[in-house]
Structure 1
Amino acid sequence: MTNEKEVLIIDDDSRNIFALSAVLKAKKFQCISAMNAGDGLKILSSNKNIGVVLMDMMMPEMDGYEAIAKMKSNEALKDIPVIAITAQAMAGDREKCLEAGADGYISKPVDVNELMKLLNLLID
């Protein structure tokens, strides 16, 4: 299955970006990435081909919660699905991410099958 839409990975750890990109490219997804939320939001504003965002929730400067809030309050970005990805897999984290506006939630280490199910569900 080839997807026309791109996946934007926003994560401050290049190892996470590398791992996620490798998995997604093997599944025929086109990937682009940003090392921080500010750069990610700039990419979203300029690239109209983003189908879904994989958002690390714990980043310096602007965390995923703030970045999702900015996306959801922007008319041009509010309908782009966001999958929250976090290593902070504690009780209540899933609900907190979904309440913040995420459309899906996955804890690290990422379960590839779970990620693929979410992507196929969210990308039209």
Structure 2
Amino acid sequence: MLMNKKVLIVDDDPRNIFALRLTLKSRGYQIVSCTMAQEAIDILKNDNQFTAVLMDMMMPEMDGYEAIKIIRSTPSISQIPVIAVTAQAMPEDRQKCLDAGAQDYVSKPIDVDHLMNAIEKLS
């Protein structure tokens, strides 16, 4: 396991951030969160020492697909693992997230065991 257990949660719904924050903090993770994709990119550019980014795919202004593409095309942050988190749960949605550059995909409502496995696989 990485010594630096820090996760960035990006979701436009504060209730989702709250629930994920509680779940991950109880497992020893440091949490940083934001509600906008551009803010997430700025956070990553200032601190690229994250274990993972949990990226909501459906957000206003800039969606998760566009944000992941920007992350992947920015050399200083391109290596940071991104897990797509979305309410879209069709098989083609999973593939669309992976094609955008996500390392993994977790559908909402979130299965905590699946989420933890996805994060720990990255370490």
| TM-score of the pair, normalised by structure 2 | 0.95
Secondary structure at 1:7 match in 2: strand
Distance (Å, rounded) in 1 between the aligned partners of 2:2 and 2:44: 21
Distance (Å, rounded) in 2 between the aligned partners of 1:31 and 1:75: 23
Q: Is the 8 A contact 2:55 2:85 kept in 1?
A: yes
Q: Is the 8 A contact 1:5 1:49 kept in 2?
A: no
Residue 75 of structure 1, CA deviation:
0.5
Structure 1's unaligned 5+ residue stretches are none
Distance (Å, rounded) in 2 between the aligned partners of 1:20 and 1:3: 20
2:31 matched to which residue of 1?
A: 31
Residue 26 of structure 1, CA deviation:
0.5
Amino acid aligned to 1:19: A
Distance change in 2, residues 1:25/1:3 (3 Å): farther
1:80 matched to which residue of 2?
A: 80
Amino acid aligned to 1:108: K
Q: Is the 8 A contact 1:65 1:100 kept in 2?
A: yes
1:100 aligns with 2:112: no
| RMSD of equivalent CA atoms | 1.3
| TM-score of the pair, normalised by structure 1 | 0.95
> Percent same amino acid among aligned pairs?
53
- Alignment length, in residue pairs? 123
Structure 2's unaligned 5+ residue stretches are none
Structure 1 segments of 4+ aligned residues over 2 angstroms from their partners? none
